[in-house]
Structure 1
Amino acid sequence: MKNRRFLLILALLLSIGFVLAACGSSDDGESSGDGGDSGEGSTEGGEESSEDFSVAMVTDVGGVDDKSFNQSSWEGLQAFGEENGLEEGEGYDYAQSDSEGDYTTNISRLVRQDYDLIYGIGYLLQPALEEVAEQNPDTNFGLVDSVSEVENIVSITFKEQEGSFLAGVAAALKTETDKIGFVGGEDGSLIRKFESGYVAGAKSINPDIEIDIQYAESFAAADRGKLIASNMYNNDIDVIYHASGATGNGVFAQAKDIKQNNPDENVWVIGVDRDQHEEGAIGDDNVTLTSMVKRVDVAVNEIATQTMEGDFPGGEVVEYGLEDEAISIAQTNEDAMTEDILSEIESWKEQISNGDITVPSTDEELEEYESSL
Structure 2
Amino acid sequence: MALLKAKPKPKETHPMTATTTATTDPSDLLDLAGLLTDEELALRDRVRSFVDERIRPNIAEWYEGAIFPTEIVREMGELGLLGMHLQGYGCPGRSAVEYGLAALELEAGDSGLRTFVSVQGSLAMSAIHKFGSEEQKNRYLPGMAKGEIIGCFGLTEPTAGSDPASMATTATRNADGSWTLNGAKRWIGLASIADIAVIWAATDDGIRGFLVPTDTPGFTATPIEQKLSMRASIQCDIDLENVELPAEAVLPEVTGLKGPFSCLNEARYGIMWGAMGAARDSFEVALDYAQNRLQFDKPLTAYQITQEKLVNMALEIQKGTLLAIQTGRLKDAGTLEPVQISVGKLNNCREAIAICREARTMLGGNGITLEYSPLRHANNLESVRTYEGTDEVHTLILGRHITGEQAFR
Using the size of structure 1 for normalisation, the TM-score is 0.26
Q: Which has the higher helix share?
A: 2
